[in-house]
Amino acid sequence: MLRKLELSTNEHAEMIDVTEKVRTYVKEEGLDHGAVIVYSPHTTAGITVNENADPNVQHDMLMRLDEVYPWEHEKYRHAEGNSASHLKASTMGTEQTIIVEQGELVLGTWQGIYFCEFDGPRPRTFYIKGLSDV
């Protein structure tokens, strides 16, 4: 079943750990074997899987994305002035697929699932869809 979740971001750019929300979905849906898709319907936010043990990893990722895609650039043409957010979201991607085995997310020891905000703060949504093995 498709589930829509809402969250509010607090910073202009941040990575919010949504791993437990995805685990809760897997348990509530009784998904034993298959996969889940975690999807962002936004053009200035994305979904990624990365380390969740050390918060400095998220800091470093956001810092480096700012260096690669600065907020202001003399050649940007997008009228809203948030071209950097679009570039960052496309770099992260809109979705991640995570395998589910024996009712558990198949993630590495240090991995977590993140909603990545690049144009906040604002209310956001994301979706989770379970795919069961037949």
Q: pLDDT for 83-104, tens place per residue?
A: 999 999 999 999 999 999 999 9
96 with 125: CB under 8 angstroms?
A: no
Taking only the tens place, the pLDDT of each residue in 23-62 is 999 999 999 999 999 999 999 999 999 999 999 999 999 9
Confidence of residue 80 (pLDDT cuts 50, 70, 90): confident
Q: State pTM to two decimals.
A: 0.95
Confidence of residue 76 (pLDDT cuts 50, 70, 90): confident
Torsion angles phi and psi, residue 53, rounded to 5: -90, -35
End-to-end Cα separation, the chain, in angstroms: 15
> Which of 98, 111, 116 has the alpha carbon at shortest distance from 25?
98
Rounded CA-CA distance 45/101 in Å is 28
* pLDDT score at 9: 98
Q: What is the mean pLDDT of residues 120-126?
A: 98
| CATH class, range 2-132 | mainly beta
Containing 38, the helix (H) or strand (E) segment is strand 33-39
Containing 51, the helix (H) or strand (E) segment is strand 45-51
Residue 81 is encoded by which pair of tokens? 């002035």
* pLDDT score at 134: 57
Domain ranges in the chain are 2-132
* pLDDT score at 36: 98
Mean pLDDT, rounded, of the chain: 96
